[in-house]
Structure 1
Amino acid sequence: MDPVIVVGAGPVGLTLALALARQEVPCVVLDEGPGKDEPRASRTVVLHEETTALIERLTGAPLDRIGAHWAGWRSVRRKQVMREVFFDGSEPVPLHIAQHELTGALRAALAGEPLVKIAVESRLDGMEQESSGVTAHTRGPKGTWWRGSYLVGCDGPRSTVRKLQDIRFPGRTAVERHAVAALRTELPWYNEALLHRLPPWRMSGPSAGEVTARPLPDGVWRLDWLLPPGKDLVTPELLLTRIRETLAGWSGGTTPPYELLDTGVHTVHHRLARRWRADRVFLAGDAAHLLGSLGTHGLDEGLRDADNLAWKLALAWHHGPHEALLDSYQTERRAIVAARLRAADQALPLLRGGGGLRSYVPGSARGHDSLLTDGHLGHGQLGAPGAYADSPLAPPPLEGEVPVRTSPGSSVIDVRVTAEDGTFVRLRDRLGRGALLVVLIAPGTGVWERRHWVSAGIMPQLAAAVSALPHHAELLVAESYPGAAAHTVLLVRPDGHLVSALGGVRPADLYTAAEAAMGGPVKVQAEAGASAGSR
């Protein structure tokens, strides 16, 4: 079987290659660059807790060594603090990290991965596909043809893969523009992100009256100034003046010492590819979607694309085409991103329209602040990770279903579980291996040796039901799970999304749910694949 070809060696492409390798699928990554990334302190990303856990699981290294978990979030309007959030461990904490640090961690993990080949200075310029695979041609010092089973375009906003497949990429250009600076300095607050709207000091040059400060490790901060609509140039002199005015405004009128590390202008576009799959070719990350206004996290969604697609491609690579399963990638991920784009586009006129009666409505400023805070912190419609509630992989209504804190289609909560070898691990540590997870909620098992309960009660019956499932599954046991009663059985997808929660051992329901999560009966999928190939 030919390897999967991944076009693009940014965070999404490297994450996908690493996720496939962890499921024993060989990959070739076509990197048009020299194999290393230029350090740019002003190019940073904010990751949700779940996405951070994904990268840490794949790389085997904690990201807090190279990124910063915020101690809190503060939103200020003029001189008034509108909202303060302090992260005490009871809720997910965003991670702020320079993009080159993230790709460096992924490259380091791939350096020791025998199943992945990174072809540097290899720019895609042509491709052909047929029912049995994909052939790609690259130009460069070592221009050649590459043969793959599937090909995934993770090659950014100007995706060559998308253009070669003639996939439209409609949307809006320059939805927002920000002047950006990364600098090392000491601010009046420690390790807290800040959103300051309508600051009381006068800003030189074009300004929309909003600045964001987000901490990085080693005393470094990224500052973003929202620019008004238009194409006004941000000159170096103007940006230096803006830095001094802002730092002085936050420090009581005197500009503190600072070291300027990097600058740039960040332009946000909103676009969504019409299709994310063309037979054996897929799109992911910025090649498939662009978003990022109002604090929404575009790269975070791209990494979720990779997580969603990896286990489905791995299943198809090992066991043959599962057309409904592969189609579900586009259905699930495109719906999530489309909803995020709609939410941002609906909020933009309200938050950026300025003036009018809205500015005099009591409480409107606080409501606007809540919307922006949601986007930056990963809450609400603007920022919260989406759920695959209407997924084609969702099972039909099951007689034995029971409610738990996690709704079907949402990501499961990370709890301690006992693995089949008797060791205690975190639930998220068992994800990404291509197996379904079956979790029995059994209070008391944590204090008894495994040999005393593994052959008692309902465990033998559940173990037999798991062994009879149509796809490999791992049986885990947890002391508790939020909202779950004793003897609840959770079925979890390889990417950590809940398929169903059942009250007790129900072999028929468990089988139905597992079969649906894998895209339906294999025989039906094989017939569908043959039909698609004949077209």
Structure 2
Amino acid sequence: MDPVIVVGAGPTGLALALSLAAQDVPTVVLDETGGKEEPRPARTVVLRADTAAAAERLGCATLRDEGVRWTGWRSMLRRQEMRHLPLGDDGTPAPLHLPQHALTRGLRDAAAGERLVKLVTDSRLDTLEQDRTGVTVHTRGPSGTWWRGSHLVGCDGARSTVRKLLGIRFPGRTAVERHAVAALRTELPWPGEALLHRRPPWLPGTEEVTARPLADGVWRLDWLLPPRGELVTPESLVARVRDTLAGWCGETPAYELLDTGVHTIHHRLARRWRVDRTFLAGDAAHLLGALGTQGVDEGLRDVGNLAWKLAHAWHRDASPTLLDSYQEERRAAVAARLRAADQSLPILRSGGGLRTYLPGAARGHDAMLTDGHLGHGPLGAPPVYTHSPLAPEPTATRTPVGTQAGAPVHDVRVTAPDGTTGTLRDRLGRGLLVVLVAPGTGVWDRRHWVGAGVMPRLVTAVDGLPVPAELLVTEAYPGASAHTVLLVRPDGHLVAAFAGVRPDELHAAADTVRGGSPAQARTARTADVD
């Protein structure tokens, strides 16, 4: 069978190729560049716990070598500290911060060592044709040629050629925010912590400055620019650096300026994310980034959502419901994120006035900004696919647990029947997971529980599911009682929790998750035509 064609070799495209390879699906990655990442220390990405774990599962070694997890979050308004939140040790997930070129390089290195991923550099797409069985594209370059694939995914950025060839509109707002950016090596008073400073008194007219640590004593500093679009000259940027460091440290400390730039944020959302056998992902499908939201984060969530569905279609055929659900779930999630940001912007960027003096206004603004930067609330939390077409109908035997149906599961310790152990998150990305909550399995000898209690019935039920699934056991899960059975999607979202072993309901839920039988879907389409 033909490979999946991935257009674009940024973080989203490379992560998608690796995710498909992990599910035994070959890909051809068409990269219009020469395959070298230009080092830009001032262009960085912030990964939340779920997306950082996903990139690590794909073998991205640079996360450990060049990524920094913040030890705390500190926010200030003028001279007053509004919040100091320790991260990591108390259970609050710490974002991972690293240069984007390091993330891309790490994913590219992992892809280069993967036999199912074919990286083709200096290949720019110029033609795209689709038929009933696949996609044919032409690339120009030193070795311009035709390529044939089972499906195609456009991960080719904001100016996506794939999106333009498909004629998909990309409406939205231009220049929602502009930031002057600098990467520099220096010492600041809060080593390892990120800082958001609103209206610093020593920078008149500056609404907001952020400082976020990177590896090797490097910091990324961002200054929110006025909406009137003032010109940022090298001299004015150096003056901002010196005045900002002096305001925080009492005097300007020694520093080494590594990189500068102006970052303009746009908010756009493609009208369609799927046209027949072609899909959009990452910046080709959406642009966001105001108020701490993260575009690369959302691109990696696109990958997690789409990869298992494409793998199912490649190996076993798939109903239209399964492939359509990618657009329905992910576009709705990103649209909600954009709405939250657009609703918050007028409040947070109002320029003061009477709103500033309303009771609790300053702390409310601080909470919204903190949510965006740390990955909480509508601006940053992982999506919940409550109204997904892949969500089974509720039944009387469902049982509530500490995770809402459609939300990402907790990363608990799990044991497979063969005795291997790890975390639930480590098992994601290959197939459905069926998790039995069985207190005591951590201390009992495996031979005593693998064939006891409800395990034999559950093994039989899992073997009879319409799609491959892995059976796991956990000592405990938040909010779950003993013998609760969790059904988890390959991207880590909870399908349902059952009170005990319910083979028929488990089978029905698994069938719904795959979008129903492809044969039944074809029969239904034929009947509609008749």
TM-score by structure 2 length? 0.98
2:481 to 482, 485, 499: 485
Q: Please tell me the residue identity of whatever aligns with 2:417.
A: E
Which deviations, in whole Å up to 9, do the C-alpha atoms of 1:10-45 show, x marking residues without a partner? 000000000000101000000000112101000101
Q: Take 2:308 and 2:524, find their aligned partners in 1: how far apart are those partners?
A: 20
SS at match of 1:391: coil
Q: Please tell me the residue identity of whatever aligns with 1:189.
A: W
After TM superposition, the structure 1 = structure 2 runs for residues 313-462 of structure 1, keeping only pairs within 5 Å, are: 313-433=310-430, 435-462=431-458
Check 1:123–1:530 CA distance in 2 against 1; reply closer, same or farther (3 A cut): farther
Q: Is the 8 A contact 2:203 2:244 kept in 1?
A: no
| Aligned residue number for residue 55 of structure 1 | 55
Q: Is the 8 A contact 2:406 2:493 kept in 1?
A: yes
Q: Is the 8 A contact 2:318 2:514 kept in 1?
A: no
| Aligned residue number for residue 70 of structure 2 | 70
Q: Take 2:328 and 2:502, find their aligned partners in 1: how far apart are those partners?
A: 29
Which deviations, in whole Å up to 9, do the C-alpha atoms of 1:126-183 show, x marking residues without a partner? 1111111111111111111111110000000110000000000000000000000000
Q: Please tell me the residue identity of whatever aligns with 2:237.
A: L
Q: Is the 8 A contact 1:322 1:529 kept in 2?
A: no
Which has the larger displacement, 523-532 or 72-81? 523-532
Check 1:109–1:346 CA distance in 2 against 1; reply closer, same or farther (3 A cut): same
Q: Please tell me the residue identity of whatever aligns with 2:247.
A: G
SS at match of 1:32: coil
Q: Is the 8 A contact 1:270 1:289 kept in 2?
A: yes
Which deviations, in whole Å up to 9, do the C-alpha atoms of 1:214-263 show, x marking residues without a partner? 000100000000001122210000000000000000011x1000000000
Say whether 1:519 aligns with 2:520. no
SS at match of 1:257: coil
| Aligned residue number for residue 98 of structure 2 | 97
Say whether 1:260 aligns with 2:261. no
Q: Take 2:44 and 2:521, find their aligned partners in 1: how far apart are those partners?
A: 41
After TM superposition, the structure 1 = structure 2 runs for residues 76-475 of structure 1, keeping only pairs within 5 Å, are: 76-87=76-87, 88-203=89-204, 207-252=205-250, 254-433=251-430, 435-475=431-471
Q: Take 1:486 and 1:175, find their aligned partners in 2: how far apart are those partners?
A: 50
Residue 60 (structure 1) shift? 6.2
Check 1:399–1:190 CA distance in 2 against 1; reply closer, same or farther (3 A cut): same
Q: Is the 8 A contact 1:321 1:526 kept in 2?
A: no
Residue 72 (structure 1) shift? 0.2
Q: Take 1:531 and 1:38, find their aligned partners in 2: how far apart are those partners?
A: 55
Check 1:337–1:528 CA distance in 2 against 1; reply closer, same or farther (3 A cut): farther
SS at match of 1:59: coil
Q: Is the 8 A contact 1:399 1:509 kept in 2?
A: no
Residue 531 (structure 1) shift? 8.6
Q: Please tell me the residue identity of whatever aligns with 1:340.
A: R
Residue 334 (structure 1) shift? 0.4
2:503 to 484, 499, 507: 507
Q: Take 1:104 and 1:428, find their aligned partners in 2: how far apart are those partners?
A: 24
Residue 292 (structure 1) shift? 0.5
Q: Is the 8 A contact 1:323 1:529 kept in 2?
A: no
Check 1:234–1:196 CA distance in 2 against 1; reply closer, same or farther (3 A cut): same
Residue 68 (structure 1) shift? 0.5
Q: Is the 8 A contact 1:439 1:476 kept in 2?
A: yes
Which deviations, in whole Å up to 9, do the C-alpha atoms of 1:358-401 show, x marking residues without a partner? 12212211111111011000111111111101110000112210
Check 1:381–1:326 CA distance in 2 against 1; reply closer, same or farther (3 A cut): same
Residue 507 (structure 1) shift? 0.9
Q: Is the 8 A contact 1:4 1:149 kept in 2?
A: yes
Q: Please tell me the residue identity of whatever aligns with 1:21.
A: A
Q: Please tell me the residue identity of whatever aligns with 2:508.
A: T
Check 1:329–1:130 CA distance in 2 against 1; reply closer, same or farther (3 A cut): same
Q: Is the 8 A contact 1:420 1:474 kept in 2?
A: no
Q: Percent identity?
A: 69
Check 1:86–1:324 CA distance in 2 against 1; reply closer, same or farther (3 A cut): same
Q: Take 2:203 and 2:419, find their aligned partners in 1: how far apart are those partners?
A: 63
Which deviations, in whole Å up to 9, do the C-alpha atoms of 1:58-95 show, x marking residues without a partner? 11647232110000000000110001100124121100
Check 1:448–1:239 CA distance in 2 against 1; reply closer, same or farther (3 A cut): same
Residue 528 (structure 1) shift? 5.8
Q: Please tell me the residue identity of whatever aligns with 2:52.
A: T
Q: Is the 8 A contact 2:38 2:101 kept in 1?
A: yes
Q: Take 2:60 and 2:447, find their aligned partners in 1: how far apart are those partners?
A: 30
Q: Is the 8 A contact 1:437 1:474 kept in 2?
A: yes
Q: Is the 8 A contact 1:323 1:528 kept in 2?
A: no
Q: Take 2:329 and 2:24, find their aligned partners in 1: how far apart are those partners?
A: 24
Q: Is the 8 A contact 2:25 2:314 kept in 1?
A: yes
Check 1:296–1:529 CA distance in 2 against 1; reply closer, same or farther (3 A cut): farther
Q: Take 1:89 and 1:466, find their aligned partners in 2: how far apart are those partners?
A: 36
Once superposed, what is the RMSD of the aligned Cα atoms?
1.4
TM-score by structure 1 length? 0.97
Q: Take 2:145 and 2:350, find their aligned partners in 1: how far apart are those partners?
A: 52
Q: How many residues align?
A: 529
SS at match of 1:342: helix
Which deviations, in whole Å up to 9, do the C-alpha atoms of 1:325-356 show, x marking residues without a partner? 00000000001000000000000000001133
Q: Is the 8 A contact 2:24 2:116 kept in 1?
A: yes
Q: Please tell me the residue identity of whatever aligns with 1:440.
A: L
Residue 514 (structure 1) shift? 0.7
Residue 451 (structure 1) shift? 1.1
Residue 508 (structure 1) shift? 1.2
Q: Please tell me the residue identity of whatever aligns with 1:389.
A: T
Check 1:209–1:10 CA distance in 2 against 1; reply closer, same or farther (3 A cut): same
SS at match of 2:472: strand
Q: Is the 8 A contact 2:112 2:119 kept in 1?
A: no
Q: Is the 8 A contact 2:60 2:107 kept in 1?
A: no
Structure 2: tracts of 5 or more residues without a match: none
Which deviations, in whole Å up to 9, do the C-alpha atoms of 1:438-486 show, x marking residues without a partner? 0000000111121111111111111111111111111110000111000
Check 1:432–1:531 CA distance in 2 against 1; reply closer, same or farther (3 A cut): farther
Q: Take 1:73 and 1:169, find their aligned partners in 2: how far apart are those partners?
A: 35
Q: Please tell me the residue identity of whatever aligns with 1:284.
A: A
Q: Take 1:501 and 1:250, find their aligned partners in 2: how far apart are those partners?
A: 50
